[in-house]
Amino acid sequence: MLQKPDPAQEQHLLRDGYWDRTAIIKASDGSLRVRKISKGSDSAGPWGRDNLRAEARYLTNLEEPLVDFFPTLIQHWDGASTGYDMAYMEGYVDVGQVARNQLFSQAQADAMQRYLGSRLLQQVHVSSDSTPCLVANIKSTFNKALGCLQAHPQLHCLVHSISVNGLPVNTLEQQLSNIFSGALLPRMDASPQVRLHGDLFLENMLLPAVDPGVNWPQLLVLIDPISVAGIGTGHPLFDLGKYESYATGELPAMRQERLRLEGFEESTNNLQPGQYRWAIDWQDNALAGFKNINWHNQLRQLYVQHYGPIDRAMYELLQAYYAAAMVVCTTGKEQQARTLKMRSSLQLALT
C-alpha cells in the first residue's frame, strides 16, 4: 500500500461529497483515472477515511466472476490522505443522470433492473461469515442523530412527541428505547449475513451514454461499494432499501430540496403546533424522470422471488437509519425532511 498517491492533474470534478472528493485525473503517463480521496478536516460528517479503506479492500478482493461488474482498482494509499484510483470508464455516465434526463424508456429501465438484480442477488450477495456489525452501527447512528437534534437551536423540538403527515410519533428517546430493547435488531443480526454493495443507488451505477444495442444493460458497472458508515455485509434488505430510497425519487428530492414542508413556519395553515408534513414536490420538472419512469419495481420483484416477502418493520427501520445518517451532516430543508422521515419510519418500524 502506498503512503501517497501518484502525482496527477485534476481534469474534471465528478463529485464533491460529504466525506470525500471524486475527480477524473491525468496521471504522469498521460492516462486518465478516477481518483477518490478523503476530505480530511473538510469532511461534513464523522465518516470518511475508514470508508475509503473499506472500499479499496472490497475492490481488491472481488472474485473472478465479479471483475467485470466493478471498475479496476489501480492503486490505494493511506498516509496524509486516504484514497484510491480506479479505471476511468470513458463514455459512461451514472444511471442517476440517465434517470434525471429521462434517457431511458420504461423497457430499458426494466431491463437494467433485471440485469442488476440477477447479478446482485446471485453474485454479490454471497454468504458472509463476518461478525455482524450493522446493528451496532444503527444504534450509534441513531444516538448521533438524537444528540444532533437535541443541540440544534431550531430542530430540537422534533425530538418530542409530534405528528408527521398525520402519523402520531412518540418522543425520539422513547422510540429509540423501544427499538433498542425490542426484537427487531436481534432479528436483523441473527439473519443470514451476505456481502452487500452497501451504497446501492443509481448514482453508483455506470452505463454507456449511448445505447450500443440489445446488450446495453449488460455493460452496467457498479462503483463506490460500502455504505457511508462502512457497512459491507449484513441483511440483504439493506441493499434493496438503499436502492429504493433513491430510485423512488426521494433521495434526489431531499438533496436538491425539491420538497413541500409544513409546520416549520408559524403561519402554516391547518396545522397545530407539533404537527408537520413533508412531501416530494412532484410538480417540479427536475423530478419528472422519477415520476414518469419506474426505477424500482422490477428489482423489488426479483428480491421477493429470491428472498421471500419483505420484512416491513425491518425495511422501515433501515429507512429511518439512512435518514438518521444524513440528519447529522445536512442543513436546511434537507435536514428537516430527513428528520421527519426518520421519525415517521421509526414509528412505522414499531407498529
pLDDT band at 144 (very low <50, low <70, confident <90, very high): very high
Please give the grid coordinates belonging to residue 216. 446495453
Report the SS3 class of residue 148. Answer: helix
Please give the grid coordinates belonging to residue 96. 442517476
Residue 34's H or E segment, with its range, is: strand 32-38
Provide the pLDDT for residue 39: 84
pLDDT tens readout for residues 72-126: 999 999 988 899 999 999 999 999 999 999 988 999 999 999 999 999 999 999 9
Provide the pLDDT for residue 221: 97
Average pLDDT over residues 7-19: 87
Average confidence score pLDDT of the chain? 92
Alpha-helical (H) ranges within the chain are: 49-60, 95-100, 106-119, 134-151, 172-181, 184-190, 237-247, 250-255, 288-292, 297-307, 312-327, 332-350
92-350 — its CATH code?
3.90.1200.10
Instruction: Identify whether the C-beta of residue 323 lies closer than 8 Å to the C-beta of residue 156.
Output: no
Q: Give yes or no for residue 43 having a pLDDT over 90.
A: no
pLDDT tens readout for residues 204-238: 999 998 877 777 888 999 999 998 778 899 999 99
The structural architecture, per CATH, of the domain 8-87 is: 2-Layer Sandwich (3.30)
The number of CA neighbours under 13 Å toward the Cβ of 254 is: 23
Identity of residue 75 = Q
pLDDT band at 44 (very low <50, low <70, confident <90, very high): very low
Burial class (CB in 10 A: 0-12, 13-18, 19+), 245: buried
Alpha-carbon distance values, 185 to 189, 213, 234, 248 (Å): 6, 45, 12, 26
Provide the pLDDT for residue 339: 98
Residue recorded with cell 418500524:
349
Provide the pLDDT for residue 230: 81
List the domain boundaries for the chain: 8-87, 92-350
Instruction: Identify whether the C-beta of residue 337 lies closer than 8 Å to the C-beta of residue 278.
Output: yes
Q: Give yes or no for residue 323 having a pLDDT over 90.
A: yes
Bridge partners, residue 233, by sequence: 195
CA nearest 199: which of 251, 268, 141?
251
Provide the pLDDT for residue 267: 57
